Amino acid sequence: MPSSLGSRTKASSSDTDGCPVRFVHTISEAGRLLPSASRWNSIEIDFNLVPQSANGYDSLSSRYSKSVDYDLIITDRKYFKRFLYISVSIALAILLLVLLILFLPRKHANHGSSQNLTLAVNQALTFFDAQKSGQYPSNSPIKFRGDSGMHDQDSSQKHDLVGSGRNGANIPNDINCWQRPEQMNYARPVSSCGTTASDLAGEIVAALSAASLVFKEDTVYSKDLVAAAEKLFDLATKDDPKSQGTYTMVDACGGDGRTFYNSSGYEDELVWAGTWLFFATGNTSYLEYVRTGYKTAEVLLTRLLYFHDLGYPFEDVLASSSNMTDSVMCSYLSDHKFNKTRGGLILLKPDYGTPLQFSATAAFLSKLYSDYLDLMRSTGRRCGSDVISQKMFLYILGDNPMKISYMVGFGDHFPNKVHHRSAWIPWDGQLYSCAEGERWRMSVDPNPNVLSGAMVAGPDQFDHFIDERDQPLFTEPTISSNAGLVAALIALHDPHRNPSDSNGINLGIDQTGIFRLAPTAP
């Protein structure tokens, strides 16, 4: 083979060793060796598969600075045709695959609406309008509700809440009488709680304290909320052990509520109350109560550690809270700690039923914690808690084996036989007795009223859901479950990006506003 650049080499019938030459190399103008390891690199197209140029191949321009000629010789036309057929078949197969990918429905294509969290938040909030008792506002978006429970007030005790759930066929109550709330006329007894209901007191203190921060612009109202919270907290945390306990311990307080909403302790509620009172007042004595009585992990305390570390003597309990919160958040992702359905729904209390209320709250807490880490630009402590939030809500809003949205009114397929008296009895101006209302409960027809925004209890541990009114473990919504739903939807909702933020981080969290009254580290 000549060594000069630009030379032309042809195959001859013999060589110096007497063997025929079948494949040859040509040196390109760029000084590179052209490939000829295969017989198809030495083929000359000479049987009119393509039109011949009138000017010949020498007239075609080259990608290099000078053209390079080399002759290709067909040694077996049958193999070449087979090669062409195979090549064309592969090309068509690739084209068909691309078309399938582009035009066939994707796995979750029918759940695109589940990404519309703004719509989901608005709908979830309307559920609370459907739960109101007393004089009903005329401007409510729920048009199948009206005044209810107007006779609940006891003239002697001046209480205006609670009801009865005792079993007894001859005594109508909230459980066995299937009437619209607007038509209730049976007795609804009142329960009265003293200072021994520390769990209830703690929740009320926390709510009043948090509300004082929300309404801080209304200084008079905000101060009244704080004053009431401090007074109640003092009563609930007296040193006298007889003054503390759960509401379920006292018959007059717990009443029939113990059958449905049992309480296992009160310490966590008082820690929760003390934490919010600290934020509402800046008084470290409340945080000291939390420090000495702290036993459980709280995301709220973790926020205090991350964004407003007070140092000694609180750093130990705050660090412990952070470590425990890390463990809880990451445990949501562990198949060893919590079970999951085959469809991916986390089962925090598999024997309790109604799994969605727990998974929704877990989604909220994990997303909030993930946002804290993002604000800190922390990567070493992440275990994917933001992923579990997205998966849980895609599941709740329709991405599940039943292909059903468990929030009523959202999406194309959702429960239509919700266990809810206002939803399953028509609002037609007719009075229905308890017995007459029973026929509506047993009807196979969908509810005449759509309880928009209500999240039902959810499926069983096998992802199976029964849409029937007489199956409350599947179809009953609750205020507590919708509270977790709304919190998580807001947490997952993408906030507007702040153009002035060079790092692009604006998670909708007021990083410091909650600490406006809190002292700084010494």
Residue 90, token pair as written in the block: 């592969």
Residue 497, token pair as written in the block: 């990006």
As beta bridge partners, residue 243 has none
Active-site residue 111, yes or no? Answer: no
Residue 207, token pair as written in the block: 């709510």
Q: Distance of CA 251 to CAs 244, 247, 502, Å?
A: 15, 8, 59
Q: Phi/psi at 223 (nearest 5 deg)?
A: -65, -40
The active-site residue out of 108, 111, 336, 419 is 419
Question: Could you tell me if 182 and 421 are in contact, meaning their C-beta atoms sit under 8 angstroms apart?
Answer: no
DSSP conformational letter for 55? T
DSSP conformational letter for 266? S
Question: Could you tell me if 44 and 83 are in contact, meaning their C-beta atoms sit under 8 angstroms apart?
Answer: no
- In whole angstroms, give the CA distance from residue 480 to residue 485: 9
> CA gyration radius for the chain?
36
Q: State which amino acid sits at residue 288.
A: E
Q: Give the count of beta carbons closer than 10 Å to the beta carbon of residue 438.
A: 15
Helix H or strand E encompassing 222: helix 219-236
Residue 109, token pair as written in the block: 């294509």
As beta bridge partners, residue 27 has 33
- In whole angstroms, give the CA distance from residue 484 to residue 407: 13
List the catalytic residues. Answer: 419
